[in-house]
């Protein structure tokens, strides 16, 4: 198969020679880009502004970033190694993602630079079509790879941030707190996915055992939306807690959630619900036999 | 392995020490129901602390014990279900509906005392001779 493929190709020059000539062309290209650095860079920055990209940044900032991107770009073309560019792309992403720069903007500016440089090559070699062709042959793969590297770097950085934040949310969001002897509260904030629901339940069950809790108040004021899956997780948590001998009171169901649950027909008849966290804790205290009184009522004035 | 059944006041306590076969479970059920009558027990406590697995037959037998004991005049409470076991049971839909549960033996005894008190207050229980 391999030999057949080779036979089918037109006689090609020795690969060594080819890469040497590509290297020579790239060197010429880099020299051209270095020479016209100021002018090309300005043209690029102008086109970025005109295309209304990077609107979150000031013009000076755009120009400063454009300069470093340009230099890194040329360097990547010259050396053919992308590590430095990759590191720079990551660093750039780290700086601009918090400022709300979008993926399409980053990809957009790199593609603009590619176009600006290609145009300048057209300008330089328009007399020698053959040379232009060969220069573009050398330029295009490298330029595309650079665009690719920057875009992938940006997206990777973004994903890394998202993962980090998910992790942070997950760690933050599952406190089981003891308010009184034998009374726990579990405030749930944010989105409940199956994994988190499982983690919540496990933590709660363990806490019931270690604290010897009799009543648990689960407050879902901070849960924005609920579907049948989440509702079923909640029902499961309530039932599992009951198996350990603890009564669960659910508080803070928003009007929207109440409507959704009734509309989708989740059976919550097994669940004790109270309007808000305060009511839930009061109900729990009643179940536990506590009575909270103002001091004056306990020691009436003489 | 036969499960020892202890009599403590008005209550019977069955403490399961190791994994049980279906035959052992059935034997436990029969022994408990028979003894509820013999000892005029008012409460039954089944301690499952030692169990790290609970299958559908075990859950059904426990539920049957509770319902049968109630028909014979005794309240049943299952105590000591491990967190992992509780989670697995719920996922399998084995939720012991209608059966009382408590954290451990101590809680179970308190629960039964409380139930007895409620019954005597309502006046529907047996006559308490003190």
Q: For chain A, give the DSSP string.
A: -HHHHHHHSPP---HHHHHHHHHHHHHHHHHHHHHTHHHHHHHHHHHHHHTT--TTS-HHHHHHHHHHHHHHHHHHHHH---HHHHHHHHHHHHHHGGGT--HHHHHHHHHHHHHHHHHHHHHHHTT-HHHHHHHHHHHHHHHHHHHHHHHHHHHHHHHHHHHHHHHHHHHHT---EEEETTEEEEEEES---HHHHHHHHHHHHHHHHHHT-SEEEEEEEE-----HHHHHHHHHHHHHHHHTT-EEEEE---HHHHHHHHHHT---TTSEEESSHHHHHHHHHHHHT-----HHHHS---
Which chain A positions have a beta carbon within 8 Å of B103's beta carbon? Answer: 208-209, 212, 214, 244-246
B109: confidence class by pLDDT, cuts 50, 70, 90:
very high
Q: Measured between CB atoms, does B117 come within 8 Å of chain A? A: no
Which of A14-18, A34-38, A88-92, A144-148 shows the lowest mean pLDDT across its residues?
A14-18
A10: confidence class by pLDDT, cuts 50, 70, 90:
very low
Which chain B positions have a beta carbon within 8 Å of A237's beta carbon? Answer: 90
Nearest residue of B to residue A203 by CA position?
A: B83
pLDDT for position A173: 64
A117: confidence class by pLDDT, cuts 50, 70, 90:
confident
- For B64-88, b/e burial (b = at least 16 CB within 10 A) is ebbebbeebebbbbbbbbbbebbbb
Are B96 and A212 an interchain contact pair (Cβ–Cβ within 8 Å)?
no
* Residue, of A170 and A283, whose pLDDT is higher: A283
Q: Measured between CB atoms, does A251 come within 8 Å of chain B? A: no
pLDDT higher than 50, residue A139? yes
Q: A239 with B97: CB under 8 angstroms?
A: no
Task: Compute the nearest-CA separation of B8 from chain A (Å).
Answer: 21
pLDDT for position A3: 44
Does the pTM of the predicted model rise above 0.90?
A: no
Are B83 and A208 an interchain contact pair (Cβ–Cβ within 8 Å)?
yes
pLDDT higher than 80, residue A19? no
pLDDT, average across residues A235-264:
89
Q: Measured between CB atoms, does B87 come within 8 Å of chain A? A: yes
* Residue, of A248 and A292, whose pLDDT is higher: A248
Report the residue from B83, B91, B111 with minimal CB separation from A244: B83
Is the ipTM value over 0.95, yes or no? no
Nearest residue of A to residue B91 by CA position?
A: A236
């Amino acid at each position: 198969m391999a030999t057949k493929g080779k036979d089918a190709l037109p006689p090609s020059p020795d690969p060594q020679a080819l890469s040497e000539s590509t290297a020579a062309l790239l060197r010429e290209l880099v020299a051209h880009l270095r020479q016209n650095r100021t002018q090309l860079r300005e043209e690029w920055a102008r086109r970025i502004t005109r295309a209304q990209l990077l609107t979150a940044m000031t013009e000076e900032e755009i120009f400063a970033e454009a300069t470093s991107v340009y230099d890194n770009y040329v360097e990547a073309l010259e050396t053919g190694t992308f590590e430095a560019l990759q590191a720079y792309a990551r660093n750039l992403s780290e700086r601009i993602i918090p400022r709300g720069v979008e993926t399409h903007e980053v990809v957009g500016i790199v593609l603009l630079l590619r176009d600006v440089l290609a145009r300048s090559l057209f300008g330089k070699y328009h007399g020698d079509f053959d040379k232009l062709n060969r220069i573009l042959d050398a330029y295009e793969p490298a330029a595309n790879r650079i665009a690719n590297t920057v875009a992938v770097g940006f997206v990777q950085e973004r994903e890394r941030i998202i993962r980090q934040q998910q992790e942070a949310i997950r760690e933050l969001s599952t406190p089981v707190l003891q308010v009184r002897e034998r009374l726990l509260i579990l405030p749930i904030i944010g989105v409940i996915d199956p994994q988190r629901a499982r983690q919540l339940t496990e933590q709660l069950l363990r806490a019931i055992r270690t604290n010897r809790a009799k009543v648990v108040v689960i407050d879902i004021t901070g849960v924005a939306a609920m579907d049948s899956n989440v509702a079923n997780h909640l029902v499961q948590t309530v039932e599992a807690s009951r198996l350990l001998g603890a009564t669960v009171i659910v508080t803070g169901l928003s009007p929207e959630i109440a409507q959704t649950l009734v509309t989708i027909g989740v059976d919550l008849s097994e669940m004790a619900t109270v309007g808000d966290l305060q009511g839930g804790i009061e109900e729990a205290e009643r179940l536990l036999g506590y009575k909270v009184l103002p001091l004056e009522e306990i020691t009436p004035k003489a | 392995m036969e499960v020892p059944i202890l009599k403590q006041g008005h209550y019977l306590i069955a403490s399961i020490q190791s994994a049980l076969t279906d035959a052992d479970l059935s034997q436990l059920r029969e022994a408990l129901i028979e003894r509820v009558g013999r000892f005029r027990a008012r409460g039954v406590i089944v301690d499952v602390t030692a169990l790290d697995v609970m299958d559908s037959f075990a859950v059904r037998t426990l539920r049957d014990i509770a319902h049968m004991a109630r028909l014979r005049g005794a309240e049943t409470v299952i105590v000591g279900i491990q967190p992992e076991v509780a989670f697995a049971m719920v996922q399998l839909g084995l939720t012991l509906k209608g059966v009382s549960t408590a954290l451990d033996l101590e809680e179970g005894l308190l629960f039964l005392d409380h139930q007895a008190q409620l019954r005597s207050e309502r006046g529907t229980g047996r006559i308490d001779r003190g």
